[in-house]
Amino acid sequence: MARYNGPVCRLCRREGTKLYLKGERCYTGKCAVDRRTYAPGQHGQGRKKVSEYGVQLREKQKLRRIYGILERPFSNYFDKAERQKGITGDNLLRLLERRFDNIVYRLGFARSRNEARQLVLHNHFTLNGKKANIASIQLRVGDVIQLKEKSKDSPIFQEILAALGQKTAPAWLELDVNTLSGRVLALPNREDIDTNVQEHLIVELYSR
C-alpha cells in the first residue's frame, strides 16, 4: 500500500497549523509548528498572495494529510460522498471518520492515525471477532473492534494502555477499557467530528 514516508512535521508547517501527525509530541514544545511558524523550503518565509483556488487547494491538502490519504483514494472518497444523499462535505468527513484506522485512533488505542494504521496492518486488532488488517475498511453501526490478547503485553501497547483511562471516546463510539474493545454506536454527525477543516471549500474545489 502506497503512503507518504517523508518528514511529517513539514506537512504541518506547509498547512500552517497542527495536524497532530506525531501524537503526543504535537502537544509539547518540540512541535515544529510552534518553533518555526513559516512554511518549509527556501522560500517558506516569503509572503505570498493566495488565490481563491489556492485557499481551496490548501484546505483539501490539509484534510488529506490529517487522515493520511493519498490523492487518488481521496478523490474516490469525494466521488462516493457526492453520490450519497445529504451534504457532500459532511458525507466526506463521515466516510473518513469511519475508516478502521481512524476509529482505532479515536478510541485511544493509538497516539496518531499513522500509528493506528501500522497497528491495524500488523494484525493487532479483530473486527467482529475476525481477523482484519485493512486500514481503509468502512465500519458500520454495531461493529466491534478488540485488541488481540497476545498484543496486550507488547511494549508499545503497555505504554498506550497506561494512558487509555484518560481518553474520552467520541459520542458515536463506545470504549470498554476492561475488555479493550470499542463499538460503533452511530454514524458521526458533523458536530461529532472535531477536525478543523472547512469542508465546503473542498466541495467548491472539486466543483470547478
* 8 A C-beta contact, residue 175 and residue 182: yes
Give whole-number Cα distances, 177 to 51, 54, 82, 110, 146, in Å: 48, 44, 37, 14, 10
Of the CA atoms within 13 Å of residue 76, those in its CB half-sphere come to 6
Q: Which domains does the chain have, with CATH numbers?
A: 8-96+195-207 (1.10.1050.10), 98-184 (3.10.290.10)
Grid cell at residue 59: 484546505
* 8 A C-beta contact, residue 59 and residue 205: yes
- pLDDT, tens digit only, all 208 positions of the chain: 455 556 665 566 555 665 666 556 555 655 655 555 556 555 556 557 778 998 999 999 999 999 999 999 999 999 999 999 999 999 999 999 999 999 999 999 999 999 999 999 999 999 999 999 999 999 999 999 999 999 999 999 998 998 887 888 999 999 999 999 999 999 999 999 998 899 999 999 999 8
Between CA 162 and CA 124 the distance in angstroms is 17
φ/ψ (deg, to 5) at 134: -110, 115
- Threshold 0.85, pTM exceeds: no
* 8 A C-beta contact, residue 19 and residue 64: no
